[in-house]
């Protein structure tokens, strides 16, 4: 072990490590995964965290003229850094197998682990690449990830489907009850590609990209994807399998069209659903003329609620049942003033889209499966 020493700002280090710490699982089968890997090359400190499926690293500016590698206990380090006001910290690897941090007022020694045990990040052999503005990717993840499933038996549906083409990029998530398709025609790839990204790395990306104006380089092959932006790199294993043919589920002919204020609709659904059955969460929409009647009933407890809203409706009078939780999530995820709900029959999916508030080239389609009404 070479002698290793560097000086770094406490708050700068904490900010970077908190992001990377999101990769680390609470209970790891491999103890080495409870550590950050520090790889020092003079004034560049590269810090990595991994859960085997995903590895994330960031390059930090530090003061140093030494080099070396060491694995540092993540939780202990984070808990310590959170307590420091802004100040320079000096990290020194001592001979007695500890790394010592000295602050303005104290010294703290942490036992380190051998860097060689840390898993090597996956190398992507001749991958395809696509460039994308960070905020576009962040929005795409935000708009879709909530609709992905949690079913371990159907892993393909537990991720977000990325579809790249020379015309557009599309992101899809579904759990078979609801589906969200988000696409952009203002961002394109130089060739057609598709892959399924797991949720955890997407949630990590979402958090970092929201505040970034960088371009993200997405490199991918059949088994892995690599996201590079600024000095941060995230490499993750893709979900293996074929994504269901979601286009086949989206009804093409929807003659019954309801336009209504999103907030008013959402608040009404939220209130009425309090009175719905606790297992089915079923609410009933009854539409006739310019009136939307939203009701719910929990027969076991004699609870019921009903609200009448005015809306703009073109189509036949109809009644359709939905799981209020799905409707809630979807309406809450949109930002438009008005929404359009398109329907064909009470047993076919309803399509929810924002009427306004979209960027040029941006398109959001949400699909919600109905529930059978007990008359």
Q: Are residues 299 and 225 in the same domain?
A: no
Q: Assign residue 281 a region: left if phi > 0, alpha if psi is -120 to 50, beta otherwise? A: left
User: Among 230, 247, 264, which residue terminates a domain?
Assistant: 247
Residues 228 and 312 in one domain: no
Domain co-membership, 241 together with 342: no
**103 shares a domain with 168:** no
Both structure tokens of 369: 């499966």
2 has pLDDT over 70? no
Quick one: angle between helices 74-81 and 10-21, nearest 10?
Answer: 140
Question: Taking a C-beta distance cutoff of 8 angstroms, is the pair 352, 364 a contact?
Answer: no
Classify the phi-psi angles of 66: left when phi > 0, otherwise alpha if psi is within -120 to 50, otherwise beta: beta
CATH number at residue 24: 3.10.150.10
Residue 244 confidence (pLDDT) above 90: yes
pLDDT of residue 113: 95
Res 272: pLDDT: 98
Statement to judge: residues 178 and 224 lie in one domain:
yes
Residues 256 and 187 in one domain: no
The answer as to whether 365 is a domain residue is yes
For residues 154 and 215, membership in a common domain is answered with: yes
Same domain (yes/no): 202, 154: yes
Decide if 142 contacts 206 (C-beta within 8 A): yes
> What is the 8-class DSSP label of residue 250?
S
pTM for the model stands at: 0.92
Q: Does residue 123 lie within any of the structural domains?
A: no
Q: What is the pLDDT of residues 31-59, one digit of tens each?
A: 999 999 999 999 999 999 999 999 999 99
Q: Which of 199, 219, 247 is the last residue of a domain?
A: 247
Report the alpha-carbon distance of residue 232 to residue 56 in Å, rounded.
7
Q: Indicate if the pLDDT at residue 375 is higher than 70.
A: no
3-state secondary structure of 5: strand
Is 122 among the domain residues?
no
CA dihedral 237, 240, 245, 249 (to 10 degrees): -70
- CB within 8 Å of 286: residues ≥ 6 apart: 292, 293, 294, 295, 318, 319
For 224-242, how does the pLDDT look when each residue is reduced to its tens digit (9 = 90+)?
999 999 999 999 999 999 9
Instruction: Calculate mean pLDDT across residues 126-140.
Output: 93
What range does the domain containing 10 cover? 5-117
- Percentage with pLDDT > 90 across the chain: 90
Domain boundary among 191, 217, 247: 247
Tell me the pLDDT tens digit for each residue of 257-280.
999 999 999 999 999 999 999 999
pLDDT digit string (tens) for 164-197? 999 999 999 999 999 999 999 999 999 999 999 9
Report if residue 262 sits inside a domain.
yes
Question: Closest Cα to residue 358, out of 139, 79, 190, 113?
Answer: 139
Task: Tell me how far apart the terminal alpha carbons of the chain are, to the nearest angstrom.
Answer: 75
Contact 205, 116 (CB under 8 A): no
230 & 321 share domain: no
Asked whether residue 70 falls in the same domain as residue 153, the answer is: no
Domains in the chain, number: 3
Question: Do 277 and 334 share a structural domain?
Answer: yes
Average pLDDT for the chain: 95
Residue 256 in any domain: the answer is yes
- Examine the domain organization and report whether 256 and 357 are in the same domain: yes
Tokens 């309406």, located at residue: 331
Give residue-wise pLDDT tens across range 348-362. Answer: 999 999 999 999 999
pLDDT at 152 (0 to 100): 83
């Amino acid at each position: 072990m070479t002698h290793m020493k560097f000086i770094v700002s406490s708050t700068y280090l904490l900010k970077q490590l908190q992001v990377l710490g999101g990769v680390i699982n609470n209970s790891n089968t491999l103890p080495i995964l409870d550590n950050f890997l520090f790889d020092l090359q003079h004034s560049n400190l590269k810090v990595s965290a991994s859960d085997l499926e995903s590895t994330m690293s960031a390059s930090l500016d530090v003061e140093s003229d030494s080099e070396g590698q060491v694995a540092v206990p993540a939780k202990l380090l984070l808990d310590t850094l959170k307590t420091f006001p802004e100040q320079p910290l000096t990290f020194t690897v001592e001979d007695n197998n500890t790394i010592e941090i000295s602050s303005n007022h104290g010294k703290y020694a942490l036992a380190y682990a051998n860097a060689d045990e840390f898993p090597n990040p996956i190398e992507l052999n001749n991958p395809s690449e696509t460039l994308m503005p960070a905020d576009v990717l962040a929005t795409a993840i935000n708009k879709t990830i909530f609709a992905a499933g949690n079913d371990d038996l159907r892993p393909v549906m537990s991720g977000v489907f990325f579809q790249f083409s020379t015309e557009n990029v599309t992101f899809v998530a579904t759990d078979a009850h609801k589906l969200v398709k988000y696409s952009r025609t203002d961002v394109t790839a130089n060739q057609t590609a598709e892959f399924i990204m797991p949720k955890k790395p997407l949630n990590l990306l979402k958090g970092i990209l929201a505040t970034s104006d960088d371009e993200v380089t997405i490199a991918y092959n059949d088994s892995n994807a690599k996201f590079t932006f600024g000095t941060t790199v995230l490499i993750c294993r893709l979900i293996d399998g074929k994504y269901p043919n979601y286009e086949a589920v989206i009804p093409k002919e929807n003659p019954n069209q309801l336009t209504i204020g999103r907030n008013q609709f959402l608040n009404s659904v939220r209130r009425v659903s309090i009175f719905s059955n606790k297992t089915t969460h079923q609410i009933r929409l009854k539409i006739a003329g310019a009136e939307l009647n939203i009701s719910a009933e929990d027969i076991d407890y004699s609870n019921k609620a009903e609200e009448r809203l005015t809306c703009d409706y073109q189509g036949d009078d109809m009644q359709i049942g939905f799981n209020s939780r799905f409707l809630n999530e979807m309406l809450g995820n949109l930002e438009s003033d008005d929404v359009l709900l398109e329907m064909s029959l009470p047993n076919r999916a309803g399509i929810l889209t924002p009427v306004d508030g979209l960027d040029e080239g941006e398109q959001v389609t949400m699909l919600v499966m109905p529930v059978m009404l007990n008359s």
